[in-house]
Structure 1
Amino acid sequence: MPALAHTPYDGSKKPFTIGLARLDPAEWLEPDERLEYYLARKDALFEDARDTVFAAEEGTEAAGREVLEAIATHLLERYGDTYRRTATGMAIGSGDRHVALGGGDPSLLTAARLVQEDLVLMRRGMAAGGSQRPRSASPRPGRLGRNSARRWTRSTRT
């Protein structure tokens, strides 16, 4: 197994502040050698259990479009050897993987199909703790929140 790219609990950060620091935009997303494996897993989960792994609150589509645009732009600029623009979307990796942009899916779901990372769209409001995300769709080892997010989602659903 490759060394972990990030070790947030190694003592270098003040406890309970992980995730509160601004990310370096150049390192925002980090596709690695397992990209195609995890995207295939996400595709299978979105196909077989979409209502379980994805939720979107009403009124968040504009923010989802903004996230999709930012992710697509970043991937093309930073990882042009892995992501290529096509007439209808983006080609990914060396195989025949293609993600259509502007289709019928919610924009955040489309963005989630492009990257290994789980995405969360949070907004201010009275619904404390509310969020929109593909719920733990990619069981990527070593990433914060995979299993705990799944438990949180189950415990807070009505």
Structure 2
Amino acid sequence: MTAILQQSLPREMAERRPLPGIAPLDPATWLRVDEAFAAQMAERARLLAGQRDDVIAVTEGAGPAVDELLQFVLDWLAAHGDGYDISEKEVRRPDGVTVPLDRADPMGTLGHLVQEDLCLMEKRGEEHVLTAAVLCFPASWRLAEKIGRPLTAIHVPVPEYDAGLARRVQRLFDGVQPGRPLWRFNALNYVDPVLHQPRSRVQPSETADLPYLRSERQCVLRLPRTRACVFSIHTYVLAR
């Protein structure tokens, strides 16, 4: 398979920041369309058609938040999505592909609309839990191992995610307000540029000086009605 690569990272992702590296985000800049859009969307379509159970998960009770997320994305695209044309029944993307609006399959529809993977985090007891996701481009984690689990379990076995950082991240999810999203980014070295890289959570990530840089622009925002948090991931892969 031909590698799907971007040529460069956005300027704001050029310098590493201490964990958790959170900064305010202009809501109008939430979702991105970059030079790899058409190729990444084609790969998403392939995964959604052939490996749906690996890339989509929705837990019982997540329906209201999932429905709100689809409408939230449609409203955002109507206001800020350059190159999108939205009608009641379909969406024409910037690459010219038309996506039917299937409200009976919100996460599947979202997977065909935007470059970002989208994870829903809802408060269950003391922690936010991953209740639904469309995750086509995992970076060394499996959706099946994380769905329905709280933040602390999701981040096992990330070495930097100690008890202190876990408290800070939970406070972040508790505190994010509608209309005031946050963002961060990471950067990892990989030997393989393939976008869909699930691994068992007991396997380590690749940390050596390897030929590909993989960086994720991660945003956190709160849906106003259900109060669910959306964790979005825009994946960049560059050859070194």
TM-score range, shorter chain: 0.7 to 0.9
Instruction: Specify the alignment match of 1:57 in structure 2.
Output: 59
How far apart, CA to CA, are the structure 2 residues paired with 1:94 and 1:118? 18
Residue 98 (structure 1) shift: 1.6
How far apart, CA to CA, are the structure 2 residues paired with 1:99 and 1:127? 38
- In terms of mean alpha carbon deviation, does 85-94 or 46-55 score higher? 85-94
Instruction: Specify the alignment match of 1:26 in structure 2.
Output: 28
Instruction: Specify the alignment match of 1:16 in structure 2.
Output: 19
Q: 1:133 to 1:17 in 2, by over 3 A?
A: same
Q: 1:129 to 1:49 in 2, by over 3 A?
A: farther
RMSD of aligned alpha carbons: 2.6
Instruction: Specify the alignment match of 1:99 in structure 2.
Output: 99
**Is the counterpart of residue 4 in structure 1 residue 5 in structure 2?**
no
Instruction: Specify the alignment match of 2:122 in structure 1.
Output: 123
Taking only the aligned residue pairs, the percentage that are identical comes to 27
The normalised TM-score by structure 2 is 0.52
How far apart, CA to CA, are the structure 1 residues paired with 2:63 and 2:101? 14
Q: 1:148 to 1:16 in 2, by over 3 A?
A: farther
Instruction: Specify the alignment match of 1:147 in structure 2.
Output: 139
How far apart, CA to CA, are the structure 1 residues paired with 2:118 and 2:75? 16
Q: 1:119 to 1:100 in 2, by over 3 A?
A: same
Q: Secondary structure at the match of 1:110?
A: helix
How far apart, CA to CA, are the structure 2 residues paired with 1:128 and 1:111? 25
Q: Secondary structure at the match of 1:73?
A: helix
Instruction: Specify the alignment match of 2:90 in structure 1.
Output: 89
Residue 8 (structure 1) shift: 5.0
Structure 1: which 5+ runs fail to align?
139-145
Q: Which has the higher strand share?
A: 2
How far apart, CA to CA, are the structure 1 residues paired with 2:52 and 2:32? 24
1:33-58 deviation line (CA, Å, top 9, x unaligned): 22121111111101000001111111
1:95-138 deviation line (CA, Å, top 9, x unaligned): 3x122223431x13312221111101001115967412123x04
The normalised TM-score by structure 1 is 0.75
Q: 1:22 to 1:150 in 2, by over 3 A?
A: farther
2:133 partner letter: R
**Is the counterpart of residue 114 in structure 1 residue 113 in structure 2?**
yes
Q: 1:150 to 1:10 in 2, by over 3 A?
A: farther
Structure 2: which 5+ runs fail to align?
1-5, 147-199, 203-240
Residue 73 (structure 1) shift: 1.2
How far apart, CA to CA, are the structure 2 residues paired with 1:10 and 1:94? 30
